[in-house]
């Protein structure tokens, strides 16, 4: 029997837990995971009892390594890339504007699209050994799921530029200094997290509406789509395809 690529459950306190379960692929995103995330976000948005949405990765090595290059490397043209990128970008916009607080529990490495997913969340907690970075530049592309636009809503301008333009991988403590990570812990304790989201569900949703209203007024969705369009242009260039090919070849050695 093939194991599910995601695990989901709602605990007794009405917190929705979404776990990417592809540890052998460093919890990379493929179309199946996309569809599962889209379905889960719809469930949360339609269930007024849910207090918060928490996303993490299976195991203790990877939160998410972004898009599954072994799958998406088959996309060659700008149009092919845009179809995939805009789909995930739309899902992350839904995550960003979910009517409840959202938390990324970064249990290991979060690179590329993994950082874009984390950027869509309201809070980011990380384990001590976690490392993270917007490494897309090393593959000849920009953030492809709207991550730069979301990042600029979450950290100071200087931090966003530094993280994006360096394509560097940071330690969890370095990410705290940049304002990207809110808390670093030796292990995740659900009760500690819940103490940070302790007011009533109606209050939580009312506060979230304030942020969503601002993002709507500043055309966040349109900014994300423009960002995705730019990435799709770079996607079809030889620089990107050569970089991905070299990366995949290195993994075979």
Strand 131-133 and strand 170-171: pairing? antiparallel
pLDDT of 253 reads: 64
pLDDT of 40 reads: 99
pLDDT of 35 reads: 98
pLDDT of 55 reads: 99
140 burial level (CB within 10 Å; 0-12, 13-18, 19+): middle
95 Cβ partners below 8 Å, 6+ apart? 37, 41, 53, 55, 102, 117, 120, 121
pLDDT of 211 reads: 98
Distances in Å between the Cα of 183 and the Cα atoms of 59, 134, 155, 232 are: 19, 19, 14, 34
E strand spans, the chain: 6-10, 15-20, 52-57, 62-64, 102-106, 109-111, 123-127, 131-133, 170-171, 183-185
pLDDT in tens, the chain (253 residues): 578 999 999 999 999 999 999 999 999 999 999 999 999 999 999 999 999 999 999 999 999 999 999 899 899 999 999 999 999 999 999 999 999 999 999 999 999 999 999 999 999 999 999 999 999 999 999 999 999 999 999 999 999 999 999 999 999 999 999 999 999 999 999 999 999 999 999 999 999 999 999 999 999 999 999 999 999 999 999 999 899 888 888 877 6
Closest CA to 134 of 125, 122, 146: 146
Question: Can you give the pTM of this predicted structure?
Answer: 0.96
Identify the structural domains of the chain with CATH numbers, from first to last. Answer: 6-188 (3.90.226.10)
Whether the CB-CB separation of 37 and 67 falls below 8 Å is answered with: no
Give CA 253 to chain center in angstroms. Answer: 29
214 burial level (CB within 10 Å; 0-12, 13-18, 19+): exposed
pLDDT of 1 reads: 56
Q: Rounded to whole angstroms, how far apart are CA atoms 122 and 101?
A: 6
Residue 103 DSSP SS3 = strand
Scan for tokens 């969890």, then name that residue.
172
- The packing angle between helices 220-235 and 147-154, to 10°, is 140
Whether the CB-CB separation of 121 and 95 falls below 8 Å is answered with: yes
């Amino acid at each position: 029997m093939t194991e599910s690529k995601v695990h989901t459950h709602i605990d007794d306190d009405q917190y929705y837990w979404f776990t990417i379960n592809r540890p052998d692929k460093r919890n990379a995103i493929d179309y199946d995971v996309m569809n599962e995330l889209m379905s889960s976000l719809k469930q949360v948005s339609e269930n007024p009892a849910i207090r918060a949405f928490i996303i993490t990765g299976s195991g203790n090595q990877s939160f998410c390594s972004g898009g599954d290059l072994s799958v998406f490397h088959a996309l060659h043209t700008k149009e092919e890339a845009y179809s995939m990128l805009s789909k995930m970008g739309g899902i992350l916009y839904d995550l960003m504007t979910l009517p409840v607080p959202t938390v990324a529990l970064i249990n290991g490495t979060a690179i590329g699209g993994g950082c874009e997913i984390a950027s869509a969340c309201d809070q980011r907690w990380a384990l001590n050994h976690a490392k993270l970075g917007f490494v897309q530049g090393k593959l000849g592309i920009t953030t492809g799921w709207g991550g730069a636009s979301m990042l600029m809503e979450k950290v100071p301008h200087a931090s966003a530029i530094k993280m994006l333009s360096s394509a560097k991988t940071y330690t969890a403590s370095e990410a705290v200094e940049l304002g990207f990570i809110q808390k670093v812990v030796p292990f995740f304790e659900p009760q500690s997290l819940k103490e940070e989201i302790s007011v009533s569900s109606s209050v939580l949703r009312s506060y979230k509406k304030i942020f969503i209203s601002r993002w709507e007024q500043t055309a966040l969705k349109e900014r994300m789509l423009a960002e995705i369009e730019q990435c799709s242009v770079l996607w079809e260039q030889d620089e990107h395809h050569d970089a991905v090919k070299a990366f995949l070849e290195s993994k075979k050695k």
